[in-house]
Amino acid sequence: MTNLPLETLQKDLKRVPGLPGVYRFFDEAGHILYVGKAKDLKKRISSYFQRTQLSPRIERMVKRILRFEITVTRTETEALILENNLIKEHTPPFNILFRDDKSYPYLMLSGHDYPRLASYRGKVDRRNRYFGPFPNSWAVRNSVQILQKVFRLRTCEDPVFKNRSRPCLLHQIHRCSAPCVGMLSKEQYSQDVQQALRFLEGNHRAVLADLEVEMEEHSAAMEFEMAAVIRDRITDLSSVLQQQAMDVVAEGEGDVDILAAEIMNGNICVNLAMVRGGRHLGDRAYFQRGIKASSDATYNPSEILETFIQQHYLDVDVNAEPSSLLPSVLITNVALKGESVDVLLQGLTERLSRKVQLLHQPQGQRKHWLSMAEGNAKIALLRRISETGGQLARVRALADVLNLDLEHLDQLRIECFDISHTSGEATQASCVVFAKNEMQSSEYRRFNITGITGGDDYAAMRQVLIRRYSNYQETPVDKNPQVVLIDGGKGQVEIARQVFSELGIDISLIVGVAKGEDRKVGLETLIFADGRKSLFLGQDSQALMLIAQIRDEAHRFAITGMRAKRAKARTVSRLEEIEGIGARRRQKLLARFGGIKGVANASVEELSSVEGISNTLAEQIYRQLH
């Protein structure tokens, strides 16, 4: 395909003003090929058709241009913002476009009389306090567990907190002080909250010193139980600080983002590392959206970083998101210079009402952090390239669909639950585990469900989830799932949400798999417990293929367990129905043959060899069981 004759383009270019604005190139079908901004639209657009040395990428684009449109703006900053909005709206194929995801988790302390500690994503509420952002849910979950262990702040949602009549399981395992039922005063709880805040702000030694003074005061007042509680907190906090001793806290560094761009085999990666309060919280890798760039593309790291900064930070809503999402210092692994960078910094400064500084070639600790970010970008690219087929492609697709925070796919752990019974008889629940990119059969578990009305799947789901996750706060982070699949629709998902809320577990982990029309495979809908819209993936979705694989395995495991339990129950019942077989003879039979299966497989002669079992009775047993 060729573009319009150069003479026609030159004629159109004569009408373009030399003013700031945004331009859009279109192909023959009317699709947008590229969106750009310019200080001088006339000069910028003319350059595409006057250059003799174009990069392969730009040359391919120019050959497809059939027309262009412009929008004049008052300032370069306005052009920058408009360009960013148009790129995100139209996703032009010749623009670099990163996945639009700034849904970082934060650690939140609510503004209630008895503040709640929780992992949080979404718009901010000025009544609450937020700490972060954390690059992934692992980091914030670990912090929540530390604060629970040391300061015992509540994590339950408000409906649970307001309606408790007795302490919950978290209080029993010393992870909550149970303010819901008045186990401590408002003043005492507020003191714990203040200590937690100081800990989050980095005043670790001051918190330890205050706890030591408090312990001595309780001891002097003969309040030995409270003194022991404070002593345990000091021990826990000291242990936490000792474990974190390898983490470097750079005094005076404040909040910094480190950005490293790498290109490999046409794949683009920007690794974003976050430093808050001088502490390195971790990093996250971003990849270009859609198909990778061609091998002859001439993207350079400076162009990539400039684009990433524009897309990632420019539309930060200072009224809806914590201000710490964009720090005042950005460190890059390549120099960013030129008028377009100056305009970008000006736009960021205007948006945040504070100066944003770009640094290159940092020194000291910052240099070490930048080196780490570059190394992690290369590792992430190599891993991404290897995840191109088979099971890994399915896992990657699911991670992308659910927007999971994973450094690499080996970290993904999925636990799936299913309930099985026959008309309410022999109810069993199964839990199967997918981890390290494959099913982990050694970690499967079955749960015998008792004490419920036969056929009540909701009660069965509640029981199995409570039994499985009652010790969630004690479990190492790497053994807790990132996804909890529930084989069922809105009802089962609501039960899971209630249980997780009661146990202080992040409800965003829950994903329900609702069957489609006529229960056809490929028509399933994903249902979420945290308010996200239901998601229909379609029959060709690699992510749905993985979900179906795990769901079907849970169903198989539940069915086989239920059938075995039902067969055992029926066989034992048939043994009890035989006249002359009382509890003592039944016990001897089971002991001799190692269980009911052995009794059923025994011959008449073998049965009659058991003390108290005559030949006639042995024949009756054999007939009854065959």
Q: Is residue 493's pLDDT more than 90?
A: yes
Is residue 282 pLDDT above 90, yes or no?
no
User: Does residue 192 contact residue 147 with C-beta atoms inside 8 Å?
Assistant: no
577-625, superfamily in CATH?
5' to 3' exonuclease, C-terminal subdomain (1.10.150.20)
Q: Which fold has domain 6-90?
A: GIY-YIG endonuclease (3.40.1440)
Q: Give pLDDT, residue 5.
A: 54
Considering only 338-352, 362-376, 508-522, which range has the smallest mean pLDDT?
A: 508-522
- Is it the case that residue 337 has pLDDT exceeding 80? yes
Which pLDDT does position 295 carry in this prediction?
Answer: 45
Whether residue 248 is predicted with pLDDT greater than 60 in this model: the reply is: no
Sorting pLDDT into bands at 50, 70 and 90, what band is 416?
very high
pLDDT digits (tens, 9 = 90+) for 63-87: 888 888 889 998 888 888 888 888 8
pLDDT: which is higher, 322 or 3 = 322
- What is the pLDDT averaged over residues 596-621? 82
Position 519 scores a pLDDT of 58
Distance of alpha carbon 269 from alpha carbon 255, whole angstroms: 23
> Burial letters for 607-617: b for 16+ Cβ neighbours within 10 Å, e otherwise?
bbebeebeeeb
The mean per-residue pLDDT over the stretch 423-428 comes to: 68
Q: How far apart are CA 99 and CA 101, in angstroms?
A: 6
- CA-to-CA dists, residue 555 to 224, 498, 562, angstroms: 53, 23, 10
> In this model, does residue 511 exceed pLDDT 90?
yes
Q: What pTM was estimated for this model as a whole? A: 0.58
Tell me the C-alpha distance between 424 and 421, whole Å.
6
Is the pLDDT at 503 greater than 70? The verdict is: yes
Report the C-alpha gap between 523 and 515 in whole angstroms: 7
For range 139-162, the mean pLDDT = 83
Amino acid letter, 214: E
At residue 15, does pLDDT exceed 70?
A: yes
Looking at 3.40.50, 3.30.160, 1.10.10, 3.30.420, the CATH number of the domain 256-386 comes to: 3.30.420
* Chain segment 218-247, per-residue pLDDT in tens: 788 887 777 787 787 777 666 655 544 334
Most confident of 103-107, 338-342, 413-417, 479-483: 413-417
Domain with CATH 3.40.1440.10 in the chain: 6-90
Q: What is the mean pLDDT of the chain?
A: 81
pLDDT of 3 higher than 50: no
Residue 28 has a pLDDT of: 83
Residues of the chain with CATH 1.10.150.20: 577-625
Does residue 421 have a pLDDT over 50? yes
Half-sphere exposure of 111 (CA within 13 A, CB side): 7
Tens of pLDDT, residues 176-201: 889 999 888 888 899 888 888 877 77
- In this prediction, residue 51 carries a pLDDT of 64
- Helices 490-503, 457-469: inter-axial angle, 10-degree rounding: 30
Statement: residue 497 has pLDDT above 70:
yes
What percent of the chain shows pLDDT beyond 90? 14
Task: Burial-class residue 258 by CB neighbours within 10 Å (0-12, 13-18, 19+).
Answer: buried
Q: Under DSSP, is residue 240 helix (H, G, I), strand (E, B) or coil?
A: helix
Q: How confident is the model at residue 202 (pLDDT cuts 50, 70, 90)?
A: low
Which overall architecture, per CATH, does domain 399-565 show?
2-Layer Sandwich (3.30)
pLDDT of residue 330: 92
Q: Average pLDDT for residues 318-347, to the nearest whole number? A: 82
